Amino acid sequence: MTKTIKVMVVDDSALVRKVMTEVLSSDPDITVIDQASDPIFAMQKMAKEMPDVMTLDIEMPRMDGITFLRKLMSENPLPVVICSSLTHENTDTTVSALCAGAVDIITKPAIGVKSFIEESNIQIIDSIKAAAQACVKKRKPGHINTESRHSADVMLKKMSSNSHAISETTDKIIAIGASTGGTEALRQVLKAMPAITPGILVVQHMPEKFTTAFAGHLNEISAMEVREAVHGDRLHNGLVLLAPGGKHLLLKRNGAQYHVDVVDGPLVNRHRPSVDVLFRSAARFAGTNTSACLMTGMGDDGATGLKEIRDAGGRTFAQDEETSVVFGMPKEAWKRGAAEKLLALQDIAPMLLKTSKQASRLN
């Protein structure tokens, strides 16, 4: 028999615990072994039986979720999925939770929580299953760190058919895609990039309202300027543009300059933003001038686009299994021949810099 995923639900709301348990228990591959109304009770119950995955609220009595998460990751790490109300006030705190080791985040509204959880059952179950595959490691205390399946064609079909990558230009761009585990991976990669690095475009699977704060966090630790992309932004050396949550990010070219489109659209590979949308636009408009890497994450988003970049003459890489939190997206890219090489996390920045060194001069 296939082993079921043991889940503990930690939330101070009895209603959330009840509905979350019902939704998770509806999947035969998941068993909710216990519930807890705060971290203190959770620790007592974990002493009797350890879950494979934990769902965790942030605002709770006796000990807040962030403090508990850091304690878990430094003492007895396990995959944690944050389930928290989205407000402007706690967005920074929730991003901190992701950087502290949470593998995913489920956003719940301040009101209508019961109906939201019931309607988002596919998203929630997928998140738990992805988390169960995550490889989490012990961290030092205080470490900062309706289903749709569309092809990226739905976002690229409006591009002019005679718009192709301009191979003569010396301007290079770097494209990076990541999902589960990507917040910490991106932090390490961007921290290693010097200020004169060619322009970087990033898609990190993340809900709306979180990407602004996450970009701000990355900007604090990077020598490059990091910010959330705005429609029409020009991409240049020393700048990192992060796809906004809930929007697709595409690379375009206007004469000798790169710029970006930030647009609405359907989910692609279950995601918006989608890595495939970014990568395929990079293949079309930058081609041989692209260096790209697909990093840790669940599923296959980005594999098709990475293959198109490689076929267009760009340099393509994927994160290796040992350093990936979830070796799903990189594995799929490797299977399809989209990545020319698998790289350990610490080797990604040096390789992207090496393959784009021709554009190391500032504009």
From residue 351, give the alpha-carbon distance in Å to each of 150, 199, 333, 342: 31, 15, 17, 11
Are 331 and 306 a contacting pair, CB within 8 Å? no
Measured on CA atoms in the order 53, 57, 63, 66, is the torsion positive or negative?
Answer: positive
Secondary structure letter of residue 233 according to DSSP? P
From residue 25, give the alpha-carbon distance in Å to each of 20, 107, 124, 159, 297: 8, 20, 11, 44, 24
322: buried, middle or exposed (CB in 10 Å: 19+, 13-18, 0-12)? exposed
**Total residue count of the chain as it appears in this document:** 363
From residue 176, give the alpha-carbon distance in Å to each of 51, 87, 306, 329: 33, 28, 10, 12
Q: What are phi and psi of 329, to 5 degrees?
A: -60, -45
Dist. CA 249–CA 318, nearest whole Å = 20
User: Mapping DSSP to helix (H, G, I), strand (E, B) and coil, where does residue 189 land?
Assistant: helix
Tokens 């299953």, located at residue: 129
64: its two tokens: 């807040």
| CB neighbourhood size of 112 (10 A) | 10
Secondary structure letter of residue 329 according to DSSP? H
Dist. CA 143–CA 334, nearest whole Å = 31
Q: What are phi and psi of 334, to 5 degrees?
A: -65, -40
> Which residues form the catalytic set?
179, 205, 301
Dist. CA 275–CA 110, nearest whole Å = 30
First to last CA, the chain: 60
